Amino acid sequence: MNRVGIGYDVHRLKEGRPLILGGVNIPHDTGLDGHSDADVLMHAICDAVLGALGEGDIGSFFPPSDPQWKNAPSKIFLEEAARQIESRGGRLINVDAMLIAEAPKIAPHVDAMKANIAAALDVPATTIGIKATTNETMGFVGRGEGMAAHAVASVELPD
């Protein structure tokens, strides 16, 4: 049985924080604010995978109120999502994700992001799709106040 899940995440931009997207530290004058490393892309993908499994969101596995997740790398969250798939005898078919940000340019980092995400999910990088777009200067993303990401994941589970 094939199952599909969707994920969405958003974080504010803040000075003094590193910008981590897809597990890549990207040079930028601001970073994403959050309890963990605030990797909006990995968070959306995690929610998509968990959704395909019929589970709750990332916060139900890794509550932001729990101090052990303070500044944690988001690859930990994807590794747990992969364990959840494995524990059900399933396999990840693919992930398709969209990052929405006005800056910086994402294209130079996409291959490294795919490699990091694929490694955390224990799948080939060819199963991970990452795209980026701007918000055409509209809304909080367009004003450079934050970033958002959408993701879809397909998981095959035994009947």
Residue spans of the domains in the chain: they are 2-156
pLDDT at residue number 75: 97
pLDDT at residue number 7: 98
23 pLDDT more than 90:
yes
The CATH classification of domain 2-156, taken from the options 3.30.1360.80, 3.30.300.180, 3.30.1330.50, 3.90.850.10: 3.30.1330.50
Residues 88-137 pLDDT 10s: 999 999 999 999 999 999 999 999 999 999 999 999 999 999 999 999 99
Beta carbons of 94 and 153 less than 8 angstroms apart = yes
Amino acid code (one letter) for 17: R
The b-or-e profile of 17-44 (16+ CB within 10 A means b, else e) is bebbbbbbebeeebbbebbbbbbbbbbb
Beta carbons of 158 and 61 less than 8 angstroms apart = no
Percent of the chain with pLDDT over 70: 100
Indicate the pLDDT class of residue 65, thresholds 50, 70 and 90. confident
Indicate the pLDDT class of residue 71, thresholds 50, 70 and 90. confident
